[in-house]
Structure 1
């Protein structure tokens, strides 16, 4: 028995006419009659009472119509869902990032994606950068949003959006009156930094200072960018911070731009080559979102 037999049977059962069913199916009547006869032979049961004036279902035919209709409905649902999964319209998506990245446009991007793809379940996880890369390899997450540079050749790295690095300093600081500040002018300052052992971005900022002619005098190291602001407010040092951190307005702290060429806090997407259709759909939406 094939699905064709079920579709032919249901058409005849609904139309109660071989002629009308053949027209509906786009086939000629003789092959349709043959298929129904083959089905009855296989079931060893008569499904229709036929005479010159009408076609009627037998009691067995009524019962089989219900089963056949349910089977075909399940098949159609399976085809539809499989097609949707293949196009990335149904599925699950695990994203990992840090708190400072979430201060930027990522939340708006996720909201837009979910509005357009309501059947894709998106989960957001906050975790340190190095843990994100390990989680990608362990298939615990699908996409990691990290500030560059990144250094894992086994993962695909793509720019999500560009972002500048600025300076957070106390309002009473002597440099607070400057519109822009050169990185080299900070050689004698105390810095508070993201923890160097955990953050490739922090090591990048340190290297930028070295390229500007000095090794930064780091007084404290923390895990998250928002913690840097507490230390700056307490007078423990100044901080190089991503542009998005300015959203965390805090009394007594001001932000100043750095003279170009300056460090950048570009946000990168990391993902595996063997990714799902839902991941591909999200990547397409991300590119479109920032292209606009």
Structure 2
């Protein structure tokens, strides 16, 4: 028994006419009649009473009609669901990130994505930087956002948005009176930093200081950028932070841009290939909303914060 047998039978049963059913199905009447006979033979019971002038359902036909309609409706629903999933209109999108990433445009992107794709459930997973590639490989996440992603040829990166690096100073710091600060002017300052063993971004900023002629004196190392500004506010030191973090209003913090050439804090999207349709739709929206800030690459171009 095939689905066409059910479709043919339902058409005949609903119209009670082989001629009308054949027109509805777009087939000729003799093959239609043969398909119904084949179905009855397989079931071992007549489904229709036929005369030269009329067609009527047998009791078995009436019972079979209800089941056939249910099977066809279930199949239509399954096909519609498969098409929606295949087009990325429904499903889930699991995003790995650090909390500091949400200070940028990602929250706005997620809200817009929800408006365009209400059938997709977006789930955010805050996790340490080193866990993001492993989560992608294990299919616990579909997409990650981080600065200085790892060199992993099995994952793809796309620069999501550019971001500058500035310096966060305790309010009243002697350098806070300047409109911008050269990186070399921070030589001798106490620094609070992301933990070097966890953060490629922290190592990148340390190397930028070395290139500017000094080794930063690290007095505290933390896991999250949000913790950095709290330590700066407490007067423990200065911190190099992404502009989105520095833009958060804090009366006890003075944020100043760095004079160029300066390090950057560009955010990259990290994902598996082939990407799911849902992931591709989110990346397409990101390009539309933020512009073509980057192109896919099999090697990383930035840093994980």
The CA deviation at 1:254 is: 1.5
Q: Deviations over 1:127-180 (max 9, x none)?
A: 111121222223222211101253223321111111111111122111111111
Secondary structure, in 3 states, of the residue corresponding to 1:91? Answer: strand
Q: Which residue of 2 aligns with 1:265?
A: 265
* Worse-matched range after superposition: 277-286 or 236-245: 277-286
Task: Tell me if structure 2 keeps the 8 A contact 1:149–1:204.
Answer: no
Q: Deviations over 1:187-241 (max 9, x none)?
A: 1221111111111101100011111111111111111111111111111111111
* Worse-matched range after superposition: 142-151 or 261-270: 142-151
Task: Tell me if structure 1 keeps the 8 A contact 2:247–2:255.
Answer: no
Aligned residues between the structures: 292
- Confirm or deny that 1:54 pairs with 2:60: no
Task: Tell me if structure 2 keeps the 8 A contact 1:48–1:56.
Answer: yes
The CA deviation at 1:98 is: 0.6
The CA deviation at 1:41 is: 1.8
Secondary structure, in 3 states, of the residue corresponding to 1:167? Answer: strand
- Confirm or deny that 1:131 pairs with 2:131: yes
The CA deviation at 1:112 is: 1.5
The CA deviation at 1:281 is: 2.4
Report the Cα distance in structure 2 between the residues aligned to 1:139 and 1:29, rounded to whole angstroms. Answer: 52
- Confirm or deny that 1:100 pairs with 2:100: yes
Given the two structures, how large is their TM-score scaled by the length of structure 2? 0.91
The CA deviation at 1:258 is: 0.8
Q: Which residue of 2 aligns with 1:178?
A: 178
Secondary structure, in 3 states, of the residue corresponding to 1:93? Answer: strand
Q: Which residue of 2 aligns with 1:236?
A: 236
- Confirm or deny that 1:192 pairs with 2:196: no
Secondary structure, in 3 states, of the residue corresponding to 2:130? Answer: helix
Secondary structure, in 3 states, of the residue corresponding to 1:148? Answer: coil
Structure 1 runs of 4+ off > 4 angstroms?
none
Report the Cα distance in structure 2 between the residues aligned to 1:28 and 1:152, rounded to whole angstroms. Answer: 59
Q: CA RMSD in A?
A: 1.5
Task: Tell me if structure 1 keeps the 8 A contact 2:192–2:228.
Answer: yes
Q: Which residue of 1 aligns with 2:8?
A: 8
Q: Deviations over 1:247-277 (max 9, x none)?
A: 4322221111111221111001111224333
Secondary structure, in 3 states, of the residue corresponding to 1:206? Answer: helix
Q: Which residue of 1 aligns with 2:220?
A: 220
Q: Deviations over 1:84-125 (max 9, x none)?
A: 222222222211101110111111111211222222222111
Q: Alpha carbons of 1:153 and 1:56: their partners in 2 closer, same or farther (altered >3 Å)?
A: same
Report the Cα distance in structure 2 between the residues aligned to 1:148 and 1:244, rounded to whole angstroms. Answer: 16
Gap runs ≥5 in structure 2: 293-305
Report the Cα distance in structure 2 between the residues aligned to 1:249 and 1:226, rounded to whole angstroms. Answer: 12
Q: Which residue of 2 aligns with 1:116?
A: 116
Given the two structures, how large is their TM-score scaled by the length of structure 1? 0.95
Report the Cα distance in structure 2 between the residues aligned to 1:149 and 1:16, rounded to whole angstroms. Answer: 66
Q: Which residue of 2 aligns with 1:246?
A: 246
